[in-house]
């Protein structure tokens, strides 16, 4: 059984495209620049279901068009609209092999953050809307996701170890 630890969220199916079962996916992680896959998982009724590509193509910098095998009508495609799209960890470079700078930061969503030996929270999302990428913790605090602050990433236990500047967490 696939669990959230086996996959990471890369986008959402937003609408149908055409009449032959194509779907538009707004993605938050352009995983295809560093990995190749024949399938993605869709989160349907709480389960991660693999959907294999017949074909896919970029429509813009944040939208892909997917044509899944056995989804051949607009009605079949409509049933999938709104589903979250997840990518398998096994098909992307592992943090232990690739190094911190090669690891996609969005993949760290759900990881615990340990700073200077103390667990400070869990990464709820990654804000990359500005030049300074931030981890958004589940309590709303923002932490810079800069490589100099990340000392290591434990992919197995889902922990990001950091050394933060003194006073950064003071409120």
d(CA 79, CA 77): 5
Token output for 13: 């199916």
* Listed residue (154, 163, 152) closest to 111, CA to CA: 154
Q: 4-91 falls under which CATH superfamily?
A: RimM (2.40.30.60)
* pLDDT beyond 60 at 98: no
- For the chain, the structural domain boundaries read 4-91, 95-162
Q: For tokens 């979250």, name the residue.
A: 84
pLDDT tens, residue by residue, 123-154: 988 887 777 888 999 998 999 888 888 888 88
pLDDT tens, residue by residue, 48-59: 999 999 999 988
* pTM to 2 decimal places: 0.57
* Assigned CATH for 95-162: 2.30.30.240
């Amino acid at each position: 059984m696939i669990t959230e630890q086996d996959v990471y969220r890369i986008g959402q199916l937003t609408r149908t495209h055409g009449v032959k079962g194509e779907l538009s996916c707004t993605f938050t992680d352009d995983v295809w620049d560093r990995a190749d896959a024949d399938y993605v998982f869709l989160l349907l009724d709480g389960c991660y279901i693999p959907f294999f590509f017949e074909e896919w193509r970029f429509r813009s910098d944040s939208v892909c068009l997917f044509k899944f095998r056995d989804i051949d009508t607009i009605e079949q495609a409509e049933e999938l609209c709104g589903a979250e799209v997840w990518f398998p960890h096994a098909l992307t470079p592992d943090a232990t092999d690739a190094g911190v700078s090669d690891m996609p930061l969005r993949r760290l969503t759900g990881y615990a953050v340990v700073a200077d030996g103390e667990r400070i929270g869990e990464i709820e999302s990654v804000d990359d809307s500005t030049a300074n990428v931030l981890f958004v913790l589940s309590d709303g605090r923002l932490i810079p996701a800069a490589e100099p602050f990340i000392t290591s990433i434990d992919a197995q236990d889902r922990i990001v170890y950091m050394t933060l500047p003194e006073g950064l967490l003071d409120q």
